[in-house]
């Protein structure tokens, strides 16, 4: 894929974040999400790609825009698969809490796992612990292997886990092993990325979250030379049938990085909506200006760019917001 595409993707996440950021703390998670979806979809029309949404806002009959299978972009560019999360953490925006993001992941056609919105079991680590994890191993065994790889004691490690009743056993096992725990209310994409960014202080992600978020996070980890292992967790026969329709005949199979994101030409862009561990949120300033903080990465080159942008809202293209 062309290097210029990476910066085009940042414009897409910036547009979504600028639109959604207006809704911070107003208690309207649906409104925050819709504003981001509208802006992101309009922004995609300006990007020179022949894109297919494989991870989006839902099925075609559930989502009017950015639905699974929708074609986006100018249609005269390179063919790519796209995974989007216009607002990763709608509750976080609605409540004005940290770590809400706008996210886009892109890979060459057929390069991303085509997964519906069901649960996925995950374990994720950064570069130093790559090759040391095993989703089927006990939590204590994984923590010991990660600690050894990173030259730490297990008691030095921080495991990040979604604060959900379904994770009581995992949390108990982490405590028993002696590691520290960071519980989060939402946003396991940012949590997975944090395992591969040294300054966050997070060493490993455990738990069950959304499959779409898993594919998106795996793309980011591919760019950061980290690792994720995962397994789909359909809860009923209907979800199993949906997986088969999407070409996944064995949902119990352990998914490695190449199953989630194949090849080495993936790209990932993310813009902060609210302040977080990874990025600052949108700030609206005097003079019809706004400031955004973004991250864009490319797996093929290993380039990681943090972008601090000032936007003149009175001069921005119409896709940033409705007039």
Nearest one of 274, 273, 270 to 305, comparing CA atoms: 270
- Binding site annotation covers 187? yes
Residue 164 annotated as binding site: yes
Q: Does the annotation place 89 within a ligand binding site?
A: yes
Binding site annotation covers 213?
yes
Annotated binding-site residue? 188:
yes
* CA–CA distances in Å: residue 47 to residues 129, 290, 298: 36, 22, 17
DSSP structure string for 76-123: SSEEEEEEEEEEE-HHHHHHT-S--EEEEEEEETT-B----S-EEEEE
Q: Is 186 annotated as a binding residue?
A: yes
**Residue 165 labelled as part of a binding site:** yes
258 marked as binding residue: no
Whether 301 has a binding-site annotation, put simply, is no
209 contacts 233 by C-beta, under 8 angstroms: no
Residue 121 labeled ligand binder = no
Radius of gyration of the chain from Cα atoms?
19
**199 backbone dihedrals φ, ψ, rounded to 5°:** -70, -10
Distance CA(44)–CA(319), nearest Å, equals: 9
Residue 88 among known ligand-binding residues: yes
What angle, 0 to 180 degrees and rounded to 10, lies between the N-to-C axes of helices 29-44 and 4-21?
A: 150
Please state whether beta strands 101-108 and 78-88 pair in parallel, antiparallel, or not at all (unpaired): antiparallel
User: Binding site residues for substrate, as ranges?
Assistant: 88-90, 119, 164-166, 186-188, 210
**Binding residue numbers:** 33, 57, 85, 88-90, 119, 164-166, 186-188, 210, 213
Residue positions forming the annotated binding site for Mn(2+): 33, 57, 85, 88, 213
């Amino acid at each position: 894929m062309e290097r210029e595409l990476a910066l085009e993707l940042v414009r897409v996440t910036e547009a979504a974040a600028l639109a959604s950021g207006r809704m911070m703390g107003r208690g309207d998670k649906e409104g925050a999400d819709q504003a981001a979806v509208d802006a992101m979809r309009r922004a995609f029309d300006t990007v020179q790609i022949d894109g297919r949404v494989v991870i989006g806002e839902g099925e075609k009959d559930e989502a009017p825009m950015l639905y699974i299978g929708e074609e986006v972009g100018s249609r005269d560019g390179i063919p790519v698969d796209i995974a989007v999360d216009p607002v990763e953490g709608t509750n976080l925006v609605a409540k004005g809490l940290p770590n809400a993001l706008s996210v886009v992941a892109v890979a060459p056609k057929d390069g991303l796992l085509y997964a519906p919105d069901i649960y996925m079991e995950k374990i994720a680590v950064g570069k130093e612990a790559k090759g040391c994890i095993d989703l089927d191993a006990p939590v204590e065994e994984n923590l010991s292997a990660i600690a050894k790889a990173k030259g730490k004691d297990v008691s030095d490690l921080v495991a990040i886990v979604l604060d959900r009743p379904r994770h009581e056993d995992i949390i108990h096992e982490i405590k028993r092993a002696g590691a520290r725990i960071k519980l989060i209310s939402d946003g396991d994409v940012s949590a997975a990325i944090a395992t591969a960014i040294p300054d966050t202080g997070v060493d490993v992600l455990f738990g069950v979250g959304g499959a779409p978020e898993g594919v998106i996070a795996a793309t980011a980890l591919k760019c950061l030379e980290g690792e994720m292992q995962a397994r789909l967790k359909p809860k009923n026969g209907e979800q199993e049938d949906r997986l088969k329709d999407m070409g996944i005949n064995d949902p119990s199979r352990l998914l490695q990085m190449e199953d989630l994101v194949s090849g080495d030409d993936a790209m990932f862009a993310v813009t902060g909506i609210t302040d977080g561990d990874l990025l600052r949120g949108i700030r609206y300033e005097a003079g019809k200006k706004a400031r955004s903080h973004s991250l864009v990465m490319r797996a093929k080159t290993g380039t990681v760019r943090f972008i601090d942008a000032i936007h003149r809202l009175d001069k921005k293209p119409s896709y940033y917001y409705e007039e």
